[in-house]
Structure 1
Amino acid sequence: MALAAMYEVAWKRVAAAAITTPTSGDWVQVAFIIAATCAVSLPIGLQSKFFKWEPMKLATVIPAAMFTIIAPGFTEEAIFRAALLPHPSVNPKAFPASFSQFALTAALPLAIFVAYHLVNPDKRARAVFWDARFLALAALLGAGCTASYYVTGGSLVAAALTHWLPVNLWLFLLGGWNKVQPSEGTKKE
Structure 2
Amino acid sequence: MYETAWKRVAAAAITTPTAGDWFQVACIVAATCAISLPIGLQTKFFKFEPIKLATVIPAAMFTIIAPGFTEEAIFRAALLPHPAVNPKAFPASFVEFALKAAVPLAIFVAYHLVNPDKRARSVFWDARFLALAAVLGVGCTASYYVTGGSLVAAALTHWLPVNLWLFVLGGWNKVQPPESSKKE
TM-score if structure 2 supplies the norm length?
0.97
- Residue 17 of structure 1 deviates from its aligned partner by 0.1
Offset, 1:185 = 7.4
Q: Deviations over 1:66-125 (max 9, x none)?
A: 000000000000000000000000021110000000000000000000000000000000
Equivalents in 2 of 1:164, 1:46: separation in Å? 20
For each residue in 1:40-84, what CA deviation from the matched residue of structure 2 results, as whole angstroms up to 9, or x when unmatched?
000000000000000011000000000000000000000000000
- Looking at structure 1, the residues matched to 89 and 100 of structure 2 have their Cα atoms a distance apart, in angstroms, of 9
Matching residue within 50, 55, 76 for 2:71: 76
- Name the structure 1 match of 2:20: 25
Q: Unpaired runs of 5+ in structure 1? A: 1-5
CA spacing shift, 1:185–1:58, aligned 2, 3 Å: farther
**Runs of 4 or more consecutive aligned structure 1 residues displaced over 2 Å after TM superposition:** none
Structure 1 position 121 matched with structure 2 position 120: no
Distance in 2 separating the partners of 1:56 and 1:95: 41
Hey, what does 2:55 align to over in structure 1? 60
Return the letter of the residue paired with 1:78. A
Q: Is 1:131 the equivalent of 2:126?
A: yes
For 1:121 and 1:165, locate their aligned partners in 2 and report how far apart those are by CA, in whole Å: 25
Inter-partner Cα distance in structure 1 for 2:8 and 2:135: 23
Equivalent residue letter for 2:123: V
* Among 35, 40, 57, the residue aligned to 2:30: 35
What RMSD over aligned residues (CA atoms) do the two structures have, in Å? 0.9
CA distance in 1: counterparts of 2:11 and 2:92, whole angstroms: 18
Q: Give yes or no for the alignment of 1:181 onto 2:182.
A: no
- The Cα of 1:179 is off from its aligned counterpart by 0.2
In structure 1, the partner of 2:89 is 94
Measured in 1, the distance between the counterparts of 2:78 and 2:40 equals 30
Name the residue aligned to 1:166: 161
Give the whole-Å Cα distance in 2 for the aligned partners of 1:63 and 1:91. 38
Task: Tell me how far apart the structure 2 counterparts of residues 91 and 43 of structure 1 sit (CA, whole Å).
Answer: 39
Q: Secondary structure at the match of 2:154?
A: helix
Paired positions, count: 181
Equivalence for 1:110 = 105
The one-letter amino acid of 1:80's match is F
Question: In 2, Cα distance between the equivalents of 1:7 and 1:101?
Answer: 23
CA shift for structure 1 position 127: 0.1
What's the TM-score once normalised by structure 1's chain length?
0.95
Change (3 A) 1:50 1:149: same
Provide Cα deviations, 1:146-168, integer angstroms capped at 9, x if missing partner. Answer: 00000000000000000000000
- Letter matched to residue 166 of structure 1: P
